[in-house]
Every structure is written in structure tokens, then in C-alpha cells.
Amino acid sequence: MNKGILLAALASTALALAGCHHGWKSHHHADTAKIADNLKSEEAQWNKDYAAKNVDMIAAHYADDAVLGAPGAPLATSDADRRKSIAQLTNDPNFKLSFAPDKVEAAKSGDFAYTRGHYSITTTDKATNKPVTSEGGYLTVYQQQSDGSWKVIEDFITPGPAPAAAK
């Protein structure tokens, strides 16, 4: 009789745990396709924020402790440093930026993801005072925040030929 009660109790506990969200991400896989779609939308909005030259909206894409690595500039590791770097770009009257991901990958756990893509930027050449356009690639790492949003934690820009699109 005691064995029957013990087995019933164990079975009840196992069923109850199977129905619970217990937070063990290694047992659950995130919808990586949905995350990829969300990040593509996020980067489309980011392009709009750059087109509007809205420093506050651009800066809002970054987590508090994010790092921005721009060519020829020191790493921007604080909100103030990132805003200064963004403002220097957006204050340029010839500034235009467009970028798009060639590859988006999300961790199965659903807490990290990255985009890798190409960009084109137009700024004023300091020597000639004329617009100059350059291209290159970028790698941006995102982390899901406690509120479910995605914020950039690492953002690195590499000048040079735009990378070939992923096949």
C-alpha cells in the first residue's frame, strides 16, 4: 500500500513539473526564426532613427553597458561616449547611413543573438569638405533584456568592401 501511495505521489509530482515553466532554458528552445525577424525589424527601425538623426532613439538601441567600436575612434563603453560618437556622425550635414543584415543568428536558448551585415555611409571629408561615401561590414551582438526587448551589447563596424551576402 505504501509503495502505491509513493508511486502515485511521484507520478503526480512528475506531471506537475512537466507542466510548469521551470526556467531551464537548456530544455527549451526559443523560436529563433521569430527572434531573427524581430532583429531585422529592429535594424530597419534603427535605420529610420539614423535617417532622422535622432540621437536619443539611436542610443536607445544599446544596453547600458554596451560597447560601440567605430573605425578610428576609441571604444565607446558608456552611454555618454556612445551618444558623443553618434552625435558627431549625425551632426554632419552630409551624413547618411544605411545598413542591413546579411545573416541573423539567435542562440537556441533565446537570450543572445547577432547580426552581421553591410553598410554604406556618407560623411564630409575633412580634407576636401566634400561628401565621401564608404562601405564596410558590421557585427552586432544582442542580448534579450528582462522586459523581453533586445538591446545591443557589442557593435563593431569594419570599413572596407562590403562583405558578400550569406548564401
Over residues 8-33, the pLDDT tens digits come to 444 444 444 444 444 444 456 899 99
Please report whether residue 80 resides in a domain. yes
Please report whether residue 6 resides in a domain. no
- Residue 5 phi, psi (nearest 5): -65, -40
Instruction: Give the whole-number percent of the chain exceeding pLDDT 90.
Output: 75
Please report whether residue 127 resides in a domain. yes
Distance CA 78, CA 93 (A): 25
- Residue 158 phi, psi (nearest 5): -125, 115
Half-sphere exposure of 2 (CA within 13 A, CB side): 0
Write the DSSP symbol of residue 27. G
| pLDDT confidence band for 164 (50 / 70 / 90) | low
Please report whether residue 102 resides in a domain. yes
Torsion of CA 55, 61, 67, 68, to 10 degrees: -50
What pLDDT sits at residue 97?
97
Helix (H), strand (E) counts: the chain: 4, 5
Please report whether residue 91 resides in a domain. yes
* Domain count of the fold of the chain: 1
| pLDDT confidence band for 93 (50 / 70 / 90) | very high
**Would residue 11 be called left, alpha or beta, if left means φ above 0 and alpha means ψ between -120 and 50 degrees?**
alpha
What pLDDT sits at residue 21?
46
Which CATH number belongs to the domain containing residue 144 in this structure?
Answer: 3.10.450.50
Determine the structural domain holding residue 31 and report its residue range. 26-159
What pLDDT sits at residue 153?
98
pTM metric for this prediction: 0.79
Please report whether residue 85 resides in a domain. yes
Answer with the residue of higher pLDDT: 161 or 44. Answer: 44
To which residue does cell 544599446 refer? 62
Over residues 33-75, the pLDDT tens digits come to 999 999 999 999 999 999 999 999 999 999 999 999 998 889 9
What pLDDT sits at residue 166?
56
Please report whether residue 9 resides in a domain. no
Answer with the residue of higher pLDDT: 163 or 115. Answer: 115
| pLDDT confidence band for 161 (50 / 70 / 90) | confident
For the record, the C-alpha cell of 117 comes out as 551585415
Q: Is 149 helix (H, G, I), strand (E, B) or coil?
A: coil
Please report whether residue 153 resides in a domain. yes
